Structure 1
Amino acid sequence: MTRHDGDEASVSQDPADGATESRDPQGRAQHGRHELPARRPRPEIGTVRRTGLSGLARGGRSRLAFGLLAALLCLLLGIAIVTQVRQNESGDSLETARPADLLVLLDSLRQREATLNAEVSELQNTLNSLQASGNNDQAAIQAAQARLAALSILAGAVGATGPGVTVTIDDPGPGVAPEAMLDVINELRAAGAEAIEVNDAHQSVRVGVDTWVVGTPGSLTMDTKTLSPPYSILAIGDPPTLAAAMNIPGGAEDSIKRVGARMSVRQADRVDITALRQPKPHQYAQPVK
Structure 2
Amino acid sequence: MPLRCAAGCSVRDGEGTGVNQDPPERAAEEPHGSGAEQRGGRHELPAHRPRPEIGVVHRSGWSGFLRGDRSSPAFGTLAIVLCLLLGIAIVTQVRQTKTGDSLDTARPADLLVLLDSLRQREATLNTEVSELQNTLNSLQASGNTDQAAIQSAQARLAALSILAGAVGATGPGVTVTIEDPGPGVSPEAMLDVINELRAAGAEAIEVNDARQSVRVGVDTWVAGVPGSLTVDNKTLSPPYSVLAIGDPPTLAAAMNIPGGAEDSIKRVGARMSVQQADRVEVATLRQPKPHQYAQPVK
Q: Under a length normalisation based on structure 2, what TM-score does the superposition of the two structures give? A: 0.72
Which aligned pairs between 1:72-151 and structure 2 lie closer than 5 A? Answer: 74=84, 78=88, 81-82=91-92, 85=95, 88-89=98-99, 92-151=101-160
Report 1:184-203 matches (<5 A): 184-203=193-212
- Kindly provide the amino acid, as one letter, of the partner of residue 81 in structure 1: V
Q: Which of 169, 177, 183 is matched with 1:160 structurally?
A: 169
Unaligned runs of 5+ in 2: 6-10, 15-35, 52-59
AA partner of residue 179 (structure 2) = D
**Matching residue of 1:236:** 245
Q: Shift of the alpha carbon at 1:158?
A: 0.8
Backbone CA RMSD of aligned residues = 3.9
Q: Which residue of 2 aligns with 1:13?
A: none
Q: How many residues align?
A: 253
Read off the aligned partner of 1:268 and give its amino acid letter.
Answer: A
The alignment status of 1:250 with 2:280, answered yes or no, reads no
What do residues 256-284 of structure 1 show as CA deviations (whole Å, max 9, x unaligned)?
11111111111011111111111111111
Quick one: which amino acid aligns to residue 245 of structure 2? I
1:41 equivalent in structure 2: 49
**Match of residue 272 from structure 1:** 281
Aligned AA (2:167): V
| Superposition misfits of 4+ residues, deviation over 4 angstroms | 62-77
CA distance in 2, matches of 1:83, 1:213: 108
Q: Which residue of 2 aligns with 1:12?
A: none
Deviation at 1:223, TM superposition (A): 1.1
Q: Report the identity percentage.
A: 76
SS of equivalent to 1:94:
coil
**1:156 maps to amino acid:** G
Aligned to 2:30: none
1:263 aligns with 2:272: yes
Residues 72, 181 of structure 1: alpha-carbon distance in 2 compared, 3 angstrom cutoff: farther
- 1:204 to 2:213 alignment: yes
Matching residue of 2:18:
none
Letter aligned with residue 41 of structure 1: R
Please name the residue that 1:11 is paired with.
none
Q: Which runs of 5+ in 1 are unaligned?
A: 8-21, 27-35, 44-53
Cα distance, 1:79–1:170 mapped onto 2, change above 3 Å: farther
Output the CA distance in 1 between the equivalents of 2:216 and 2:84. 104
Matches within 5 A, 1:176-191: 176-191=185-200
Task: Pick closer, same or farther for the CA change 1:256–1:98 going to 2, 3 Å.
Answer: same
Distance 1:229 1:113, change over 3 A: same
1:196 counterpart letter in structure 2:
I
Deviation at 1:40, TM superposition (A): 4.5
Shift of 1:41: 2.8
Question: Does the C-alpha gap of structure 1 residues 202 and 85 become closer, same or farther in structure 2, counting only changes over 3 Å?
Answer: farther
Partner residue, 1:220: 229
Deviation of the 1:198 alpha carbon: 0.8
Question: Which residue identity does 1:149 align to in structure 2?
Answer: A
Q: CA–CA distance in 1 between the matches of 2:247 and 2:204?
A: 11
Q: Tell me the CA shift for residue 42 of structure 1.
A: 5.3
Q: Structure 1 counterpart of 2:288, which letter?
A: P
Aligned partners of 1:79 and 1:226: how far apart in 2?
113
TM-score by length of 1: 0.75
Which piece of structure 1 moves more, 148-157 or 123-132? 123-132
In structure 2, relative to structure 1, the CA distance for the partners of 1:72 and 1:287 (3 Å cut) is same
Cα distance in 2 between the residues matched to 1:87 and 1:155: 87
1:94–1:241 CA distance, 2 compared to 1 (3 A): same
Paired with 1:233 and 1:135, the residues of 2 have a C-alpha distance of 42
